[in-house]
Amino acid sequence: MSDSLSLSPPLERDGRTTLRTDSLFSGWRICYLIWGLISLIIAWLGPLPRLAHEAFFAHMTMHMLVVAVAAPMLGLAIAGSRFDPVMKWPRIFSPIPASVAELIIVWAWHAPQPHHLARMHTWGLFAEQGSFLLAGIIVWLSAFGGPLPRSRGRSAAGVVGLLLTSMHMTLLGALLALAPRSVYDHHQGFGSMTALEDQHLGGAIMLVVGGIAYLWGGVALTVGLVQDRKQDEAVE
């Protein structure tokens, strides 16, 4: 996999692409870890949680900071390190089931009643955001973690899992952005925006940010698979 496109740990080549396992505190991992933590600080300790009680777009911005920025950064920081749980339990951390579980969690929390609980109650917000973060990290760990060098089967499953996640985030975002009426009857809008306009803005944020982040991961794994194939052909 090309170093410039890879989201994985630094590469070592010995005839085909391999990944080295190193400390969680190596330079590139620290960068991923810092960016992931900064994203969570912005999402959870800034003005967004308070604003999210009234504005749907603010709630969706929190969601995207958690699942499309923090989760990938934290997942990539852990993947391939000694703390990677996929090393011990590769069958449990399977990319496609992880993606399906994340789909269920995200869509369930966007149903009207669970969404109302998360918007109006602190415990509901904690439960929602915590489940979003955990599910997102597991998806990225399942795709990029595991025994090294990564098998082509896991990489291919990772591509499917990440693209499936990109598709369902794009679909949910599109449904919210294009809906002819407000999905959430309890929502009254924010500022000069009507409830429907606020919902449309939030859906657009999910469609663009969520779709692109997971598509990027899937494309990076696909590039790695293609390059590994070319290397094998060159050796033959």
Domain boundaries, the chain: 18-235
Is residue 73 within 8 A of residue 35, CB to CB? The reply is: yes
Reported pTM: 0.85
* DSSP letter (8 states) at residue 10: P
Determine what percent of the chain falls in helix, strand and coil, rounding each to the nearest 5.
70, 5, 25
How do residues 220-229 score in pLDDT, each as one tens digit? 999 988 887 7
Is residue 19 within 8 A of residue 1, CB to CB? The reply is: no
Kind plus residue range of the DSSP H or E element containing 104: helix 95-109
How do residues 89-124 score in pLDDT, each as one tens digit? 988 999 999 999 999 999 999 999 999 999 889 999
Of 128, 159, 131, residue with least CA distance to 144? 159
